[in-house]
Structure 1
């Protein structure tokens, strides 16, 4: 374990400049009818010619559908790129390490969303590193450059691996605050860890737009369609088609996401079914979340419906040390949005143990009352 911990701080340095990006059209979602192709035309017709449901997986996997390359490096923003967490079974999870500028005040394990990778947190790191926050952003199993890229590993594997990575970081930084931060799918994994009977040794969780659109929050008809498709055509790959939905209002960040070779495109129906199962477990876990946590949600989130997030927030035990934060201008990818400065400042305040400087908690109360 010590060898794994020591290996976690070696690597080459490079940078990412998100200001020098190409141009392109963001395709940020897919219609439910695209999930099951011509085979299921009759079933889709039964629930409407154009059903207004967007499955989270493809909503954020279709930006700029062909990888054209990564953003140009910038020497003024160092990133350690060649490290990896080595798990007990020998699996290697590569990571980006965004080191604190100056003494480290806290450490964050950042878990990316579905189809995303360790490159998801460049902008957030720019906000946290100057304040002494070190951020580790790994590729989770099935994503990025992992050996099983493109294959859904299962909820248990994702949760167990995140727990193990947190254990390794705790051993490496025994005297520092340690947080798990998760975006979308990563937020759902963090929620499951925080609500579990075997939580990792962390000081808290930061869950950004956690993927809780599952279980009773998802129309059972859509569940049925997906279950049948996963049984009959599990290997069918799904591609995004242009739709009027936004994962973020930051066009440059969406293009960078789509062009990154680590981004997954065209996941399978079986993988999508696995994600929906994870979202259902995360929705159920809201009722048993008692760990310190901050949960962020954007007023323009078009991927996790407001009703699903309200259901989760209302289910959280009233005495749980959970801070709810609602950001009216923001979309699903809050830490990549144009209006990200306010949530970034709140995240930093939460990590440092300070009161959130914004009115996001009071806005959350208003959101829940609607």
Structure 2
């Protein structure tokens, strides 16, 4: 069962990294080795979407999945999955929202799932550029239809920065348990070894084994994911460092969002500390109160869309979209 703790728990590898660092000694650190980042290449082609792939501007083919009515939907969602996950993370949500005539598209982000650059971090800017390009494709394909960007965990961090910097390509943003635990909120004994190890032993594999963290209360779902070959059961430490950089930026940019926003978090989340989510929620209320909706689910864990309470969360997403993505007269079914 411990093997699937990588799902949604990668942030806590920082503490595990400390024990590895002490055990291996400073000699390795002194040797030095730069983190490996494989970003998108130079633009060489027009972005486009095929039935099974999002073709990025550098020619990379990112596996694509979609659910719902692709010909005449009432609304369209672009889903960005979490750390260690892939596009199939939205299977439950896409299937349920299809009954509301809402189409959901999701691709494997660079470095994850079925992409050619797995298991290397692509860099924050590449993730943001890919999301923006895919939004442009959807906007062109569905003129006149509302387009929403939905990010889950790590994908939520990407969505925050994308919404803050390129709001023109979306009508609203949905943040599901966003990964916003930045370094300023972490104790020094987590941030210091992460920085040192990512520059000395960037290849060091980290897994969720031994972590007493439950990303969800849906045990059958967790068992199924533990057998999924496209889920990452371990990650390089420099990927965790890249995630930390992304979370830093997301926490900084949360107050810059000026479009309808739905922020969803579970009160049983053992991955992202409540204070981190509360901080970005406060920033959003202060800068965008008329367009921000905050939903806190008493029975929700980190994997909100796939928890046992997932149908309630997904139902709220559908109702929020059907209501035009506004906070007015909308209330979450927190149960």
TM-score normalised over the length of structure 2: 0.84
Following superposition, the deviation at residue 313 of structure 1 comes to: 1.2
Q: 1:329 aligns with which of 299, 318, 325?
A: 299
Residue 162 to residue 35, structure 1, CA distance change in 2 (3 Å): same
1:136 maps to: 105
Map 1:245-284 → 2, pairs under 5 A:
245-284=213-252
Aligned position for 1:306: 274
Contact kept? 1:215, 1:284, Cα under 8 Å: no
Q: CA deviation at 1:191?
A: 0.6
Q: How far apart in 1 are the matches of 2:14 and 2:151?
A: 26
Whole-Å separation in 1 of the counterparts to 2:258 and 2:118: 33
- Name the CA distance, whole Å, in 2 between partners of 1:146 and 1:113: 14
Q: Which runs of 5+ in 2 are unaligned?
A: 26-49
User: Across the two proteins, how many residue pairs are aligned to each other?
Assistant: 301
CA distance in 2, matches of 1:234, 1:200: 37
1:34 aligns with 2:3: no
Q: CA deviation at 1:252?
A: 1.6
Q: Structure 1's 101 and 109: CA in aligned 2 closer, same or farther, altered over 3 A?
A: closer
Secondary structure class of the residue paired with 1:179: strand
The question of 1:216 aligning with 2:184 is answered yes
2:317 to 347, 357, 360: 347
Provide closer, same or farther for how the CA distance between residues 101 and 339 of structure 1 changes in structure 2, counting only shifts above 3 A. farther
Is 2:272 the partner of 1:290?
A: no
Q: Distance in 1 between the 2:257 and 2:188 partners?
A: 25
Cα drift, residue 333 of structure 1: 0.5
Q: Structure 1 pair 184/341, CA: closer, same or farther in 2 (3 Å)?
A: same
The alpha carbon displacement at 1:359 in A equals 4.9
Q: Residue by residue, what CA displacement relative to the aligned partner does 1:80-134 show, whole Å, maximum 9, x if unpaired?
A: x951111121111111111239941111101000010011011111220011011
1:107 to 61, 76, 85: 76
Say yes or no: does 1:241 pair with 2:209. yes
Q: List gaps (5 residues or longer) in structure 1.
A: 1-23, 44-80, 364-370
Contact 1:215 1:283 survives alignment (8 Å): no
| Deviation by residue 1:217-248 (Cα, 9 ceiling, x = unmatched) | 22233111100111111111112213322101
- SS in structure 1 at match of 2:270: coil
Aligned to 2:196: 228
Instruction: Give the distance between the partners of 1:344 and 1:297, measured in 2 at CA.
Output: 12
Q: Does 2:322 match 1:358?
A: no
Q: Is the 8 A contact 1:101 1:129 kept in 2?
A: no
Cα pair 1:102 1:132 within 8 Å, conserved:
no
Q: Deviation per CA, 1:122-171, whole angstroms, max 9, x where unpaired?
A: 11112200110111011011111111111000001001110001111111
Task: Out of 183-192 and 219-228, give the one that drifted further.
Answer: 219-228
User: Which TM-score applies when normalising by structure 1?
Assistant: 0.76
CA contact (8 A) 1:100 1:130 kept: no
Alpha-carbon distance in structure 2 between the residues aligned to 1:121 and 1:247:
16
Deviation for aligned residue 1:192 = 0.6
State whether residues 172 and 261 of structure 2, in contact with CA within 8 Å, keep that contact through their aligned partners in structure 1.
yes
Q: Kindly tell me: are residues 313 and 33 of structure 1, through their superposed partners in 2, closer, same or farther at Cα, counting changes over 3 Å? A: closer
2:170 pairs with one of 164, 182, 202: 202
Partners of 1:250 and 1:333 in 2: how far apart? Answer: 9
Superposed counterparts of 1:168-207, under 5 Å: 168-196=137-165, 198-207=166-175
Q: Give RMSD over aligned pairs.
A: 2.3
Kept in 2: contact 1:101–1:130 (CA 8 A) = no
Residue 177 (structure 1) shift: 1.1
